[in-house]
Structures are given as structure tokens and as C-alpha cells.
A and B are shown apart, each in its own frame.
Chain A
């Protein structure tokens, strides 16, 4: 036992100090954080430059409306770096011809028949941003919408009360449990992430186990080591050491990603979010909705959000995480031992091809079945593949969020344990013979012979 600890320590320490590992561990979170932060940051940074839009309104075909008579005055409010200036008495043609050298970024032309035609024109020096377009259209839409209502003599209050917005909540009735769709998506996401994590982990670190075995063989150190420890101890020490290495990387990634995102949010996004919060007030005043109504809507949202939070808390995370760890380790040990066996029968990594195929195929199938299982978590394919041990670690992760019958989980787990005991034994046998075999091209028939050797 003591020796396995020594081996695990060596396998772990020599790898954890490698430059490539440290770089991967640091770059990973930066990439993940960038994925999360950059889109949000870009959205806020994009419009640092002040852009002024000249707004011109026509009362009939040819006459620009003077300031006093402007119907759309104050409809377009300034937002962030986007400013609007209302111009009377100047014709569109004049403005267009002088735009190039003016302070304006663009000209918004509101034609006289806009209420009916619902078309406005924006002339700009450069491509306008999506935010700018959205702000203009939303503001005008809201205003024109209210104008139309007034024409029909419908008070906004009435409209707000009759406005209906159906939200479909799907609830599965089963043994007194219920589940809503929002939560279902959340669970789906959790299962998906867990399945992919296991897939990635098995592939990446399983291959490291294989490479480690090949390294020991090509370095010719293996015979020296197995004269001190049992080959099985060496194999398991390697699998465990590299497993811990992977675990370290994942934990580091999660912590670092979280830290970077938090810091980046503080630095990059905080200012803007405060500005946005202030902006809400004047906008909502302009919007003619009664104050009480607004409050209740906001309250609804808060309540809804709290509801989701409570439901998240409602997922039995301890059970989820324990099951995840179980399949994570079970799958890794199962495949890790197979990878070790492959490493032991070859002399170099280029010879691994023919043996890799039977190991990678079930992994790739797992991913396809997992995606299928999200659509139909209790379908026949999903159920069977979550019990077959070579695919169960990944496929079961997709099913677990959807209340899998306990008997199926236990069956799957028991089979996985039995199988990894079997594969480690089987791999150990191949490994014992393989590591001492040099310069021999090994094929499946040869391995079959080894399995019958008494070592």
C-alpha cells in the first residue's frame, strides 16, 4: 500500500510541475472567463464614442416640422453615448449633403406618414450598431403604439390589464413530485456538462496514462520498478496519480475561472451596470404605464427569480454530485486501465492505432447516445446505454437529472464496478506481460495468448 502511495506521488508530482500542465491550467480559465466576459464587455465598451443623431421630422411631404410642433420630441431619449438632437427648418437634403463634415453620426428621418407606414430612415456615416438600431426602433414602436391606442380611445391602463402572456409550465406528476420546465432545462444543462466533463476527462487523462506506460517501457525503467513493486501496483499508482492530476486541473479551472470572472465583472462591468440602473427610472417615467402596475411586474420578476433559485436549491445536489463522482471515477478507472494495457503492448505511440479503436468507439457512441438521451431520457436506447458499463458513465449523467428509477441506477452502478474490477484485472494481466516485451509487434491473437499465461 505504502508503495502505491509512493508511485501515486511520483506520477502526480512529476506531471503537476510540468510547464505544459501549468500553462494549460492557467490558460484554461482565462479562455473560459473570456467566453463569459468578453461578449458582455464588448456590448458595453463598443459605444464609448459619443454618437449624435440628428432627428428630423416632416409634417407633410416637403416641410420639416419646427421644434415647437414636433410630435416625436422627447420620444427618443439619450442612452449611454447615444445622443439625439432635434432639428427644425432644415431639410433632409441639406442635412444629408453636409453630414460628412458635421458633428452628427447620422440623420434619423421621420416621415409624415410614419404612423401608417411604420418606416423611418436612418442615414449614417458608418455602420450603426445593433444597440443603436434597437434603441431607436423600440422607442418609436412604444410611442406609436400608444398613439394608436389613444386614437382608438383605449386607455393604456385598460390595455395593460387585458394584455395576456401565456407561460406554459409543464409539470410531471410522479409520486408527489413535480417539475417545471425552467428547471428541466437547468437540469438538462447540468447533465450535459457532467457527461461532457467525464468524456473529456477519460479521453485526455486516459491518453496520459497510456503515454506514461509507453514512456516507462521505452525508457526501459519498467523492469527495475517491477522488481520492487507488483506490476498491478505500478499500473494502479499511475492511474490514480494521473486521475488526481486531472482532478487538480478541474478544481483549479473552476476556482480560477470563477475568480477571473468575478474580478473582470468588478473592473469592466460594474460602472455600466450602475449607469443602466439609473437609466431605468427616466425611461419608465416616460413610459406612460401606471406606477403601481410597474411595481407589481417587477415584484413578479423578483418572485419568479426567487422561485427558480429555490428550485435550484431543491435539486438534490448531494445526490447529484455523489453520483457524478461515482461515474466520473468508475469511468476513468475502467478506461484508464484499458489505456494502460494498450500502452503496455506497444513500443511507441504510433503503434497504438489498432488497439485504440475498440476503446474510443464506445466513448464516441456514449456522446451520441447522451445527446439523444436529453430528448428522451427514459427511452429504450438511453436506458440500455446507461446500463452498459462502457457507455454508462457518460449516458447516465444525461439521465440522472430526470429521476431515473433507483433500480436502474443501482444496476448500472453495480455493473460498472464489476466491469472495472474485471477490466483492471484483465488490463493488469496484459500489462504484466506487455511491459516486459520489447521489439515485438503484438496483435490481438498474441494478447489472447498472454491472457492464458500464468505469470
Chain B
């Protein structure tokens, strides 16, 4: 089931168009990546999901019914432009923001205690935010985002400003939230973490969706039929494959093993490559090279630019 659906969303600011017929379907329990270059309209879409902005056109569904204003209690949002009241104490502030998300005071206190213990930050309770480092503040913000137990959690560039240790701590938390049943929308430029975390993605460019789907499907779609073969034996055999059907795009030697990257003509099956090589060399590994998200991102955006130009 899709926990959240946006159908043909349109949003204008004066004469500029921020979103043009954008649709997303976020399956329940998934980690959904929202990608796109700067200024593509990602933040606008996230603000629409959080009902900070209203769309000019299009419909929004939450749990298969129309999105209503109370639904913000079930959504957690960590905006890209984020901060806290500098002069306010950590505990007091977390409590206030939890109450604004509809959590009763007592319950909020209990939950905050749990998270502060989990992150081992109980001593911060009476400190002012300005006394904390940026990374510490980010942790507090993370807790605030998820404290009310939202079914849908939206992270906009969540890892910016985190050191690698805290990043991995947070990634672990994100995955455990997903395992506990939450759905996560995840907007970022960090393609490595997209590959690591996301199941589904949507790529928005210049206010339009240009790519959408399961991450594995997308990678398969953009694959270039390139295979990497690890082998022992003479490289000559590999290099002398019929030129029309096979193209050697790379070769290297590592730990006494040769690795050849061979692009295969689409009309051929990968078995035919193996059939040609098995008699000649001793194959130790064979895998298909799927493009990474970074390559896909650049390729798709550039292609789109060419079309629109």
C-alpha cells in the first residue's frame, strides 16, 4: 500500500513554476529518495507534503484518503533550513516542539527521557542550545523530528553537518525506524547514501519528475550490459574477442588476478560471452556492472537538459 500519494501537483510562485505535474507514490515501509539538482523543486514538494504550502493543482493522499490538516501529527519533518531557539534550554525546547506536534506533556517527557538515554545526552537537558556544537544540535533535531512517533518521516539533507561516526549512527537509526514500520522520505544530494538506504526514488529536475521507480529497476534500466570478469590466464585471449559484439572498456590486475570490463552488444546474451571465454581462461568471478546512482543522476539530468534546450 502507498502511505502517501501526490497526484499531478502543480505549484506556481507568481510567474515561476516550482512544480509541474509532479506525482509521487511512497510505498508504506519504504525509504523513498527524493533527488534532484538544486532548485529543482524538492523543498517545495516537501513543504507541500507538510502542508506548509498548498498546491495550486493536484491531489494529496495519506493512507489512501485525502490529506487533512490533522495528518501533520503523523508526519515528522526535518527541514534543510533547520535550527533551534538558541537561548532556550534543550529539554524545554524539545518538550515545546513535541507538544506542538500534539504529544501530551507527560508522554513527551517520557519519550524524551528514552531518547536522551539512548543517545547518552541526559546532561544536555538544562543546557542552552547555543552551548552545544552543531553536531549535538543535529542530534537534538533528529530526536524532535521522530519523537511523536510519526508514520511518515521526512528528512531533508539529514546528514549535512554530521561527522562520519554520527552519520553512521543516524543511518542505523533511520533503518531501525523503517524496520519498526515507519516510512521515510529522504531528500539528499548524497548519492552514496541513496544507494545505501533507499528502496524507491524520484528524480525531479526543473520542476518535473524525470525518473521514478524502484532503485534496482532503475539501475537495471540504465545498465550498459557491461560485465566484469576476474580471471587467471593470458589477457591476449580476452583482448581478441570479436570486435563487433564485444568491447573491452577496461582492464586491470589486482592480487595476481586480471579484471576485464567488457561491454556486450545488447543483442547477445551474457552466456555467449562466457561460452567464448571458458575454454581460454580460468574465470574466478563474473558480475554485471550496474551504474551507480551518481552516474544515473548526472546522465538523466544532462539528457533532460539536452532535450529541453
Contact = CB atoms under 8 A, between A and B. Distances in A.
A224 B53 contact: no
Contacts of B170: none
B86 interface: yes
Interface stretch (B33-41, B76-84, B175-183, B244-252): B76-84
A88 B40 CA distance: 108
Contacts of B77: 223-224, 227
A78 to B, nearest CB: 63
A436 B81 CA distance: 9
A167 interface: no
Interface string A202-245: 00000000000001100111011111110100000000000000
B97 A224 contact: yes
A386 B132 CA distance: 52
A224 B85 contact: no
Contacts, number: 67
Interface string B89-126: 00000001101111000000000000000000000000
A292 interface: no
A449 interface: yes
Interface core residue of A216, A221, A452 (most chain B CB under 10 Å): A221
Highest count of chain A CB atoms <10 Å: which of B51, B87, B100 = B100
A10 interface: yes
A438 B47 CA distance: 15
B53 A455 contact: yes
A227 to B, nearest CB: 4
A219 B85 contact: yes
Contact of B81 (A10, A220, A225): A220
Interface string B128-167: 0000000000000100100000000000000000000000
Given A225-B100, A227-B72, A453-B13, A219 B52 contact: no
Interface string B241-279: 000000000000000000000000000000000000000
B50 interface: yes
A434 to B, nearest CB: 13
B54 interface: yes
Contacts of A117: none
Given A227-B52, A455-B54, A220 B83 contact: yes
Main SS at interface, chain B: loop
Interface in A180-222: 215-216, 219-221
A30 B144 CA distance: 44
A168 B86 CA distance: 64
B97 A223 contact: no
Contacts of B100: 3, 6-7, 225, 228-229
Interface residues of B, number: 31
A343 to B, nearest CB: 15
A224 B96 CA distance: 12
A14 interface: yes
A441 interface: no
Contacts of A228: 72, 97, 100-102
A223 B82 contact: yes
Contacts of B141: 224
A101 interface: no
Interface string B6-32: 000000111000000000000000000
Nearest to A226: B52
B87 A223 contact: no
Contacts of B97: 224-225, 228
Contacts of B54: 454-455
Interface in B66-82: 72, 75, 77-79, 81-82
B56 interface: yes
Given A220-B81, A438-B81, A453-B13, A14 B88 contact: yes
Smallest CB-CB A-B distances: 6 pairs: A220-B83, A228-B100, A223-B79, A227-B77, A219-B83, A227-B50
